[in-house]
Structure 1
C-alpha cells in the first residue's frame, strides 16, 4: 500500500508538502497540489484513518451501541439517528458486542449513543470521566459528559393499565421484560402502582424478555390458566405479537373476545394484526433524532438538558369492554 513517503519521492517534494496537498491546504500551489493528487491516485493511496484522527481529533463518526439487532424495534430509531447525523455531516456506526466498545476510548468515534443493557453504569462513567460524550437511552446517569433521552415508560404503562381497567377488566396478565432493562423495570413499576390504586384488580406477572418467543410462552401459560375473559399487557409489541400468534394458531381463544391484548411500541408488524393490536405509541425516529441532536450539542460544548419522549395510547380492537363480551 502506498504511503505519503512514496508520493513525496515520486513527486520530488517533501512529505509535509504532500500532506498539505492531500488536506487541501493553500500552502502549496494549485499546480503542485494537482501533481501530487494525480500521483496519489495513480499509486492508489488510501489515507490512514488512525493517523488522520490523531491529527484532526475528529472522525465525524457517531457510534450507536445496541444490545442486539433482533426484532422490529430498531429500524425507525436508527433511521432517525442516521437522518439527523447525515444532515450535520456525520456518519453512523451501528455497534454491538463488548469488543466494539474500544471505539470509545480509542477515540475512533466522536461520541456515543447507548441503548445497550450490557454496558455497566460504571464503565460509561469511566469513559465520561475521560471526556467522552455519551447520550444514553436506557438509564439515568449524572455526569456533565452524559445526557439522557428517555421514553416516558411510566406514562405509557399507566395508560395501558388504566385503559384495561376502564373496559372493566379485573384480571390482568402482565408479561414482563428482561431483568436488566431500564424500560422494562419502569413499565413494570407503573403496572404495580396502578394495580395498587385498583384493589379490585388482580395482576398476574409472567416472565418475558422482549422476544416474540417469550410472548408465545406467556400465551401458552395464560391459555392453560384460562377460566374467564382476561386482559394481557405485554410490555413490548414483540411479545404481544408472539402472544397474538400463539392464541390464534394454538387455541380457540379469540383476541378481543376472550383475550384482550395490549402491547407497547407500536412496531410496524403490530399495525397489520387483525383485530388491530392496542398499543402504546411514540415516534422512534424522533427519539433517534433528538438523541443525535443532543450528542452533537455536547460535542460542540453547548448546554443540554435531559429529554423525554412522550407517548400516547392507540385503542385497537384487540381490547374490548367486558360488557361487549358474550
Structure 2
C-alpha cells in the first residue's frame, strides 16, 4: 500500500509537506500542493482512515444499530437520523449483528444510536463507562453518557384499546410482539392496565413476532373461534396487515365482522381497504431527535431524555358494534 512516505520520496519533499498538501493546508504553495496531489493520484494513494482517526480522536461517523432490517419500519427513522448528521458533517452507518458491536470499543465510530436487542444493558453500560456516547431507542438506562429517546408506547396502546372498547367491543384479541422487544413489552403493560380497568372485556392474547406471518396466524385463530363481531389490536401494523389480508381472503369483512387496529402507521396501511385504524407518530422525527441528542452528548452538553408522542388515526377497519 502506498504511504505518504512514498509520495514524499517521489516529490522530493518532506513527509510533513505531503501531509499538509493532502489536508489542504495553506502552508504549502499551490504549485507544490498541485504537484503532490498529482503524484498521489498517479500512485493511487488511499488515505489511512484509521491513522487519521487515531490522530484526531474522531471518525465523524455515527453508527445506528438495528436488530434486523426486515419490515417497512426503518426507512423514515434512518432518513431522519441521516439528515441531521449530514448537516453537521457526520456520516451514518447502519449495523446489525454481534460482530458489529466491536465498532464501539475499537472507536471506529464517534457514537451510537441503539435499536438492537442483541445489546444487553450491561454491555451498553460498560461502553458508557468507557466514555462512549450512546442514545437508546429501545430501553431505559441510567447513565450520564446515555440518552433515552423513547416512543410513548404505553400511551399508544391505551389509545388503541380505549378506541376498540369505546366502539362497543367486549371480545378482543391482542396480537403481541416478540418478547425481546422493549416496545412490545411496554405496549403490553398498557394493554393489561386497560383490561384491568374494564373487567367486562374478554381478551385473548395471541403470540406474535411483528411480521405479517404472525398476523396471518392470528387471523386463523380468530376465524376458528369466531362466533360474532370481535376486535383485534395488533401491536404493530405488519401483523395487522397480515391479519387483514388473511381474513379478507377467507371471506370475512374487516370493520364489520372483525375490527382491526395496528400500531406505527407505516406506508403500506394506506393501500388497505378499508383503511387501517392505527397509532401514528413521526418516525422521521424520532430518528432526527436521536441524532440531535447524540451530537449534544458528543459535544459535552447536558441533555434531558426525550419522548416521541403518538396519536390515534381512525380508519374504517374499526366500527361500532
What is the TM-score normalised by the length of structure 2?
0.98
Q: Shift of the alpha carbon at 1:90?
A: 1.0
- Partners of 2:202 and 2:181 in 1: CA distance: 24
Q: Shift of the alpha carbon at 1:38?
A: 1.6
Aligned partner of 1:115 in structure 2 is: 115
- Partners of 1:98 and 1:23 in 2: CA distance: 35
SS in 1 for 2:161: helix
Aligned partner of 2:298 in structure 1 is: 299
Question: Are 2:10 and 1:16 equivalent residues in the alignment?
Answer: no
Equivalence map 1:194-209=2 (5 Å) = 194-209=194-209
Question: Are 2:108 and 1:90 equivalent residues in the alignment?
Answer: no
- Partners of 1:104 and 1:22 in 2: CA distance: 28
Q: Deviations along 1:114-167, whole A, 9 cap, x unmatched?
A: 101111101111111110011000000001111010000010000000000100
Q: Shift of the alpha carbon at 1:314?
A: 0.4
Aligned partner of 2:211 in structure 1 is: 211
- For the aligned residues, what is the CA RMSD? 0.9
Aligned partner of 2:126 in structure 1 is: 126
Aligned partner of 2:285 in structure 1 is: 286
SS in 1 for 2:256: coil
Aligned partner of 2:259 in structure 1 is: 260
Q: Deviations along 1:58-112, whole A, 9 cap, x unmatched?
A: 1111110000000101011111111111111111101111111111111111110
Aligned partner of 2:6 in structure 1 is: 6
Q: Shift of the alpha carbon at 1:33?
A: 2.0
Q: Shift of the alpha carbon at 1:13?
A: 1.3
SS in 1 for 2:144: coil
- Partners of 2:272 and 2:306 in 1: CA distance: 32
- Partners of 1:257 and 1:131 in 2: CA distance: 55
SS in 2 for 1:240: helix
Q: Deviations along 1:226-262, whole A, 9 cap, x unmatched?
A: 111100000000100111111011x222100100000
- Partners of 1:31 and 1:177 in 2: CA distance: 64
- Partners of 1:79 and 1:222 in 2: CA distance: 37
- Partners of 1:252 and 1:241 in 2: CA distance: 16
Q: Shift of the alpha carbon at 1:36?
A: 1.2
Aligned partner of 1:175 in structure 2 is: 175
Moved beyond 3 Å, runs of 4+: none
Query: Any unmatched runs of 5+ in structure 2?
Result: none
SS in 1 for 2:265: coil
Aligned partner of 1:154 in structure 2 is: 154
SS in 1 for 2:227: coil
Give aligned pairs, total. Answer: 321
- Partners of 1:22 and 1:178 in 2: CA distance: 51
Q: Deviations along 1:289-308, whole A, 9 cap, x unmatched?
A: 00000001111111111000
Q: Shift of the alpha carbon at 1:275?
A: 0.2
Q: Shift of the alpha carbon at 1:26?
A: 3.1
- Partners of 1:123 and 1:252 in 2: CA distance: 49
SS in 1 for 2:165: helix
- Partners of 2:251 and 2:11 in 1: CA distance: 80
Query: Any unmatched runs of 5+ in structure 1?
Result: none
SS in 1 for 2:177: coil
Q: Shift of the alpha carbon at 1:28?
A: 2.8
- Partners of 2:153 and 2:215 in 1: CA distance: 19
